[in-house]
Structures are given as structure tokens and as C-alpha cells.
Structure 1
Amino acid sequence: MAYRCNDQWDKVTWRSHLAGARSAVPAQQRIAEARALAGVAASLPLPETVCCYVPFGTEPGSVALVDMLRNTGARVLLPVIPPRPDALDWAEYTGTAALVPGRLRGVLEPSGPRLGVSAVRSAGLVLLPALAVDHLGVRLGRGAGYYDRTLAHVAPDTALVAIVRDDELVERLPAEPHDIRMTGALTPSRGLVRLPV
């Protein structure tokens, strides 16, 4: 489903439409897209440290993508959700055997030592989930604000790349002054799209 620019939609409306569209995607298509995303990520020039995430529910991506990043020799940090909405903590990913259920149902987190919020500053690349991202780099998340608070801690030259399905790279989303813009979008078919377009 392609989304056209709709200036009448607020973030709540966008989230509702995008979540509904994601839930309608057949499982086989999600698996194929996850495979494609892992392949695309394998071709990225990777810095020494990468922040990523383990997807849950219908989020694009896969543990295979996270494993691929680690297998390149990059240090991979995954988020640890704090007790209340705040900036994310981080822990190093050492493999699937070290993933444990997190605070939110369905979310897996590394069981290793917590590195603190500031660990994100060591990353040259942050791959993050999004419901959509627009051509100007505006990212729409789920609305809890974890990543909004976290992105305030990244180094100025860090690449911020939202992982989305092909039709979730849209023309324009509602933006707020505090929104930190993405420098790219990673999609199954188009690969890495540099933003702004």
C-alpha cells in the first residue's frame, strides 16, 4: 500500500494506518523482506560500533540482520528499555543465547552488563525501528518517545538509519521542532536511501 502525502493526518492517524497495514502483511512476505534487509545491511560500510534492535511484532528486520552485523566484526549494541519512558540503556549483543525477555512483552534484550545511555555516543551507525520515515528524514515511531530521548545523546556525525518496509518511506510526515532527522532509510527493495531525498 503506497501512502500519499496527507496534510490532514496527524501522527496518531499515521500510526493507526501504518500499524493496520503492517498487520495485514502476510508472514511469508515479512520473512522475505527480513531476508532482503539482512542482505542489504551486509553491503553497508560498517563502523566499529553499531546500535541496532531486535524487532518484535511486525517490525521490519530480524535477528539474522543483527547476527550479520556482529559477524562482520562490528561491536553491536542493543537497547535495554528503562523502567519508565526515558532514553534507552544499551548492552552488547553477544548472540541469540544471551537474549532475554525485556520489560515490554515481546521485546528481547541482551542479558549482559548495562552500558548506560551514553553508550550510543560510541556508535557510528544507529539502525532504528520506525513505522515510517519521510523524504526529509522525519521518523515516525510508536509514540513512547524512547528513541526521541535517546537520539539526543548520539554524536553529531552518527548515521541515523530507520529500517522500514518499502511503502513506509513516504513523501511527508508531520514534524515537530524536537524531531531529530534520519540520514537514511533501509528498505528491502531500495536498499539504503540517503535522506533528505
Structure 2
Amino acid sequence: MDKAELRRRIVAARAGLPDPRGSATAIRETLLDQPWVQMAGLVACYWSSGTEPATHGLILALWKHGTTIILPVLRSDDDLDWAVYDGPDSLAPGRRGLMEPVDTRRGVDAIRTAGLVIVPALAVDAATGVRLGRGGGSYDRALARVGPNVPTVALLHEGEIVDGVPAEPHDRPVSMAALPSGIVTF
């Protein structure tokens, strides 16, 4: 199966979830219990939308704990710039309607300083950790800038770790996936 077909299948399956954002609490609590999450002073994350596992509660909990959160700002070339999240009122609609922080842009390389990187995905390959995104390559470019010892975590619904995500040379794997049932390491 090619990437486009796999994307269509997962998007359709997510549309059929009774409460696609309902798994957020379990994912949030699982992540917040991890020492490597608690110790990350700077976390790169994303503000979820649509049927993605919700990140809003996770971001707020980390921020209240004193963690610095950087969120992506989609550039015109579809690369990701980064800016600091400073509470719920620090966001505004950006390109493609995505909520983005209004703080000073830190540049595409700001992700290099993160102690934890949390990314969206439609699926992750069970054997390799290669993630299937929406197809723009934004997160593959961002993940290419992350150091090898930094945890990279894709947030998924149950059933989205699959066999055989098609991979291309530019695709970057994640080291883990967080699901409502727990964390899977690749």
C-alpha cells in the first residue's frame, strides 16, 4: 500500500472514532509519569487539531509545571519555525488555520535545543519507527535537526502502529509512540 492510500484509510478510521480526542487524558497521564518527560526543560510539541490525539491538556500541564514549550509556526516553504508557548492566550490562527504561538520566532534550528520532541503522526511503522504524516514533509525536516539521544514521540490512537509504512530517504523515524494504552519504543 502506498502512502496516499494508507493516509486515506487512517483519516477515514479517525473520522469514525466516537470521540477522537478522548484518548488525550490517557496519553497525557502516561507521558507525565515518565521521568524523561518530567526532566525535559524544553519540549517541542504541537497544538493538535481535528482528529489528532489532543495535546492541549498536555501542553498546559507541562507549562504549569515550569517546562518551556515551543510550538511550530508553519513557514511559507512548509518548514517549521518555532516560538514559545506562554499560555492559552498566546496562540493565534496561522497558515492553514493551525493555532500558532505569537511569540518571537526562534528559527528552524530552535528544535535542536529541545530535551523532548512530540510530533503528530497518522501512523508509525511497528518495526522501524518511521512515521506517516500528512505529506508536507515539515516534521521530517524538523526531526532531521534533532539530536540522536533526544526522545522523539509520536502521539497516536490505538491501532495506528502498523506494519509497512512506506519510507522514502527523507522520512525520519521517531523513537517512541504514545497511545492511550501506553508507550511503545522502536
Alignment TM class, shorter chain as reference: over 0.9
Does residue 54 of the first structure (1) align with residue 47 of the second (2)? yes
Does residue 183 of the first structure (1) align with residue 185 of the second (2)? no
Residues 81, 107 of structure 2: 8 Å contact kept: yes
SS at match of 1:90: strand
Counterpart for residue 92 of structure 2: 100
SS at match of 1:91: strand
Counterpart for residue 133 of structure 1: 124
Counterpart for residue 184 of structure 2: 193
Distance in 2, Cα, partners of 1:179 & 1:88: 16
C-alpha displacement at 1:60, in angstroms? Answer: 1.0
Residues 121, 154 of structure 2: 8 Å contact kept: yes
Does residue 68 of the first structure (1) align with residue 61 of the second (2)? yes
Which amino acid letter does the alignment assign opposite residue 174 of structure 2?
M
- Identity fraction in percent: 43
Distance in 1, Cα, partners of 2:134 & 2:94: 17
C-alpha displacement at 1:83, in angstroms? Answer: 1.6
Select the residue among 56, 70, 73 that pairs with 1:77: 70
Which amino acid letter does the alignment assign opposite residue 26 of structure 2?
A
C-alpha displacement at 1:103, in angstroms? Answer: 1.0
Does residue 115 of the first structure (1) align with residue 106 of the second (2)? yes
Distance in 1, Cα, partners of 2:114 & 2:25: 24
User: TM-score, normalized by length of structure 1?
Assistant: 0.88
Distance in 2, Cα, partners of 1:57 & 1:103: 15
Does residue 11 of the first structure (1) align with residue 3 of the second (2)? yes
C-alpha displacement at 1:156, in angstroms? Answer: 2.4
Residues 43, 118 of structure 2: 8 Å contact kept: yes
Distance in 1, Cα, partners of 2:55 & 2:68: 17
Select the residue among 162, 167, 170 that pairs with 2:154: 162
User: TM-score, normalized by length of structure 2?
Assistant: 0.93
C-alpha displacement at 1:18, in angstroms? Answer: 0.4
C-alpha displacement at 1:127, in angstroms? Answer: 0.4
Select the residue among 17, 38, 43 that pairs with 1:25: 17
Residues 14, 20 of structure 2: 8 Å contact kept: no
Which amino acid letter does the alignment assign opposite residue 156 of structure 1?
P
Higher mean C-alpha displacement, 60-69 vs 110-119: 60-69
Counterpart for residue 39 of structure 1: 29
Gapped runs of 5+ residues in structure 2?
Answer: none
C-alpha displacement at 1:62, in angstroms? Answer: 2.8
Q: Cα gap change, 1:10/1:31 in structure 2, threshold over 3 Å: closer, same or farther?
A: closer
Q: Cα gap change, 1:72/1:84 in structure 2, threshold over 3 Å: closer, same or farther?
A: same
Distance in 1, Cα, partners of 2:95 & 2:21: 25
Gapped runs of 5+ residues in structure 1?
Answer: 1-8
Distance in 2, Cα, partners of 1:56 & 1:31: 9
Distance in 2, Cα, partners of 1:21 & 1:155: 33
1:176-196 deviations in Å (ceiling 9; x for gaps): 22221110001011x22111x
Which amino acid letter does the alignment assign opposite residue 34 of structure 2?
L
